[in-house]
Amino acid sequence: MKKRSDAAPKLQPYAVTTVVGKPTPRIDAYDKVTGRTVYPTDIRLPNMAHARFVRSSRTHARIVSVDVTPAEAVPGFLAVVLPAELAGCSLKDVLGRGLPILTEEPKYFGEEILAVCAETEDAAREAARRVRVEYEDLPHAMDPEQQVAAGQFTGGGWTRTEIGKPAVYQRGDVRKGFAQAARIFERTYRTAPTVHCSIEPHAAVASWEDGRWTVWESTQGVFAVREELAKLLDAPVRHVRVIGTHVGGGFGSKVAAGKYTFVASYLSKKLNRPVRCVQDRTEEFVSPYGRPPSIQTLKIGVRSDGKITAIEQKGVHAVGPYEFGSEWGNAEDMPAETYACEHVRTETYAALTNRPPPCAMRAPGHAQAAFALEQMIDEIAAELRIDPVKFRIKNLPSRDPVSGLPYAAPAGVHGLAECLKKGAEMFQWSKKQNEKSPVESPVKRGIGVAATVWTGGGSPPASVVLRIHPDGAADLYVGAADIGTGTRTAFAQIASEETGVRMEDIRVINADTQLTSYTQPSYGSLTLASTGPAVRRAAVAVRDQLAAIAAEVLETPEAQIVFSNGLAIRPAARKKPEKSVSLAELVGGSPSREIVGNGERERNPDAKALKAHGVQFVSVEVDVRTGVIRLAELVAVNDSGKVINPLGFKSQQFGGATMGLGMALFEERVFDQDTGKPLNANLSDYKVPTIMDQPEAFQVASIEIPYDGNAIGAKGLGEPPIIPTAAAIANAVFDATGVRIDRLPLTPKRILDALYPVKAGP
């Protein structure tokens, strides 16, 4: 079948632009900072009831009995949903593996056992507290490596394997590759389990009316939630409307429907009234979300001239007790695709454990992989006495090593090489390499660098509608969520650029399955690159119609008309002075009284590898008395093609690197190994970085490598800036102290333990 997108004519790449490329404050900034923005969590409907889960207080147990009687006595109690009522009802991951909504055999601490519903949130909380659950404890397993040794694992990554079989990627023959090596390096790295910590928790408000559901959901993807929810409710998608206009952060944890989504929707029908189900902060730490921990053993062979000959990785990560979510620890991509190497083998093990099931978290897999790969690259460069910047450039591939395809970049240009060169210059890398801290000072300075690669080309489907009203203002309808990256603003800029509608006159109506056209969720750093081109096409469709009317009014050929600042303008030419007409007059005076344009995302170019590259340079100060690391400077450089909004671009770099430094220095979910219970399930004991932790010198820049694979020339940026931070910091710590820390986070204790190893007894 021929797709409509096949026929879309190619648009000229942006040349001179006035709105696109201009630093533009977010169109919703004032509403957000003044609290006017209505998030799904803020929705209050008349006669709304409140649902709450009763969660397991054991790590693995069989439920012997449940006594709901005390809960029923709570004033305002309305209903209870027991696991038997939802038997067989489960969420599904990308590869179709299930996660039960409620369970009679909880397999991790905090797993949802039943749900209660009451008139108020307080009553629901009290009812949940009063439910008496009797457990019979069963053995639990928390250690991923022990589970792998016991055969309790499945393959991680994008291929589903049987239990007991790892996922394997292979090219060439690593034995040959290692035979060619002059030096072989091997080390095991560990990354910690972390949580997204979105400011808005997971939440849904569902209203069942006239046989249809309307669901306000804090989500990255309204259409994905609609599809999953319709399946769970056994309803056609037309009976489910999902609205997710604003979302207070997601970072990968709000890509699909949640248990709360289903329970609110289910109870709403059952009680015939709206039901709200919002997780509290503790629940955010025990429900099935988070980045899984990883243990990666990496082995790399190099020739004496510094060419990599073989890469081998054994990657273990902890999936929960179900296979559900095994794909989100896929640390095998980066070692396979970053550097040129003929012989590569990765084995990925998703260990079944009694930990909360993981999900995607900003740069899933890559953020873990970079900590290992980019430290080992640094180690090799140091051992071979080659500058780590030069070492990386020397080992860059001329094509994407995994697909064998050329990069979508001009011949001979590699995005990572350009980022490395620009970053080194901004950071003054060569100069700083020669600045050593005085030997007597207990505060040691060090510098480090690390690189990243990410797939962020975007793709169809994405459809957009742009409507110009008789007053010259516009409504832009896009399905995509703005997950905090500023895509609504960038879309408005793209529409304004073509049509001349002023930014302040564009309203973006987004993420509502009833009002807006279909898109994928906002994930994988693809939102701008997927939907942005469709916005431009819709805007061009509008402009063409405006031009046809304006040509008559302005007595000039369509091609001569410029649209800018709310006007259609005929520029001054020989004998004719400049003449203009407002868009309001044009549209208001048109026969249809409004102009509508549709745009659809074109296909990506065949046979090109769409990669977004980036690099970070850091300098640290390590106090060798306390083990405290101070991040003094960070320089981030990214290539994501055309920059639509430089302010938005920078904010992603600042935000990503800040999340990266949290991963590097503080963040770790701690579970008691004996009981399996979480020990820091709150924002007081689980530390996320604040502005006070950001480096004083924090510089960011973009490289705009020309890319004409979509109508706006942009690739994604949301995820790349978190990827290299932890490795760059660890490399700087090595430079400062001479010790390699192979485990995240880099806590003062780990630094001190590495600096002053305890010697074996006398």
List interacting residues with ligand MOS (CB under 6 A): 220, 252, 255, 360-362, 364, 523-524
Residue closer to ligand MOS (CB basis): 367 or 420: 367
Rounded to a whole number of angstroms, the minimum distance from the CB of residue 522 to ligand MOS is 7
The three-class DSSP label of residue 312 is strand
Residue closer to ligand MOS (CB basis): 364 or 676: 364
Residue closer to ligand MOS (CB basis): 524 or 720: 524
Residue closer to ligand MOS (CB basis): 457 or 524: 524
Rounded to a whole number of angstroms, the minimum distance from the CB of residue 244 to ligand MOS is 14
Both tokens of 476, joined, read 């832009």
Containing 69, the helix (H) or strand (E) segment is helix 69-72
Distance separating alpha carbons of residues 184 and 175, to the nearest angstrom: 12
Residue closer to ligand MOS (CB basis): 661 or 751: 661
Rounded to a whole number of angstroms, the minimum distance from the CB of residue 438 to ligand MOS is 43
Please identify the residue of the shown chain whose CB is closest to the bound ligand MOS: 252
Rounded to a whole number of angstroms, the minimum distance from the CB of residue 682 to ligand MOS is 23
Number of H helices, E strands in the chain: 19, 28
Rounded to a whole number of angstroms, the minimum distance from the CB of residue 649 to ligand MOS is 18
Residue closer to ligand MOS (CB basis): 59 or 348: 348
Residue closer to ligand MOS (CB basis): 198 or 580: 198
* Strands 629-639 vs 697-703: parallel, antiparallel or unpaired: parallel
Annotate 525-578 with three-state secondary structure: CCHHHHHHHHHHHHHHHHHHHHHHHHHHHHCCCHHHCEEECCEEEECCECCECC
Rounded to a whole number of angstroms, the minimum distance from the CB of residue 243 to ligand MOS is 19
Distance separating alpha carbons of residues 72 and 329, to the nearest angstrom: 42
Both tokens of 212, joined, read 């249809």
The three-class DSSP label of residue 232 is helix
Q: Write the DSSP symbol of residue 519.
A: B
The order of strands in the sheet holding 629-639 is: 443-455, 611-623, 629-639, 697-703
Rounded to a whole number of angstroms, the minimum distance from the CB of residue 255 to ligand MOS is 6
- For the chain, the distance separating the N- and C-terminal CA atoms, rounded to the nearest angstrom, is 77
Rounded to the nearest angstrom, the gap between the alpha carbon of residue 497 and the centroid of all alpha carbons in its chain is 28
* Strands 275-278 vs 203-209: parallel, antiparallel or unpaired: antiparallel
Q: Are 587 and 595 in contact (CB under 8 A)?
A: yes
Rounded to a whole number of angstroms, the minimum distance from the CB of residue 535 to ligand MOS is 20
> How many residues in total does the chain contain?
762
Residue closer to ligand MOS (CB basis): 365 or 500: 365
Closest-CA residue to 208 (of 259, 260, 275): 275
The three-class DSSP label of residue 107 is coil
Residue closer to ligand MOS (CB basis): 322 or 523: 523
The three-class DSSP label of residue 258 is coil
Residue closer to ligand MOS (CB basis): 319 or 739: 319
Rounded to a whole number of angstroms, the minimum distance from the CB of residue 719 to ligand MOS is 6
Containing 66, the helix (H) or strand (E) segment is strand 61-67
Rounded to a whole number of angstroms, the minimum distance from the CB of residue 73 to ligand MOS is 43
Residue closer to ligand MOS (CB basis): 329 or 524: 524
Residue closer to ligand MOS (CB basis): 531 or 545: 531
Rounded to a whole number of angstroms, the minimum distance from the CB of residue 176 to ligand MOS is 36
Q: Are 152 and 319 in contact (CB under 8 A)?
A: no
Residue closer to ligand MOS (CB basis): 291 or 355: 291
Q: Would you tell me the crossing angle of helices 366-384 and 725-737 to the nearest 10 degrees?
A: 30
Rounded to a whole number of angstroms, the minimum distance from the CB of residue 595 to ligand MOS is 35
Q: Write the DSSP symbol of residue 67.
A: E
Distance separating alpha carbons of residues 501 and 496, to the nearest angstrom: 5
Rounded to a whole number of angstroms, the minimum distance from the CB of residue 658 to ligand MOS is 16
Q: Kindly give the residue spans of alpha helices, DSSP state H, lying in 466-524.
A: 487-499
106, 136, 319, 352, 553 from 63: Cα distances, Å: 8, 6, 23, 21, 77
Residue closer to ligand MOS (CB basis): 454 or 617: 454
Residue closer to ligand MOS (CB basis): 49 or 659: 659
628, 631, 730, 747 from 750: Cα distances, Å: 10, 17, 12, 5
735, with CB counted inside 10 A (0-12, 13-18, 19+), is buried
Phi-psi region of 641 (alpha: psi -120 to 50; beta: other; left: phi over 0): left
Rounded to a whole number of angstroms, the minimum distance from the CB of residue 341 to ligand MOS is 26
Specify the residue for token string 């409140």. 50
Rounded to a whole number of angstroms, the minimum distance from the CB of residue 250 to ligand MOS is 6
Q: Are 564 and 500 in contact (CB under 8 A)?
A: yes
Please report how many Cα atoms fall inside a 13 Å half-sphere around the Cα of residue 573, on the Cβ side. Answer: 9
Rounded to a whole number of angstroms, the minimum distance from the CB of residue 56 to ligand MOS is 26
Residue closer to ligand MOS (CB basis): 363 or 539: 363
Q: Are 242 and 217 in contact (CB under 8 A)?
A: yes
Rounded to a whole number of angstroms, the minimum distance from the CB of residue 291 to ligand MOS is 9
Q: Are 470 and 587 in contact (CB under 8 A)?
A: yes
Please report how many Cα atoms fall inside a 13 Å half-sphere around the Cα of residue 631, on the Cβ side. Answer: 32
Residue closer to ligand MOS (CB basis): 144 or 252: 252
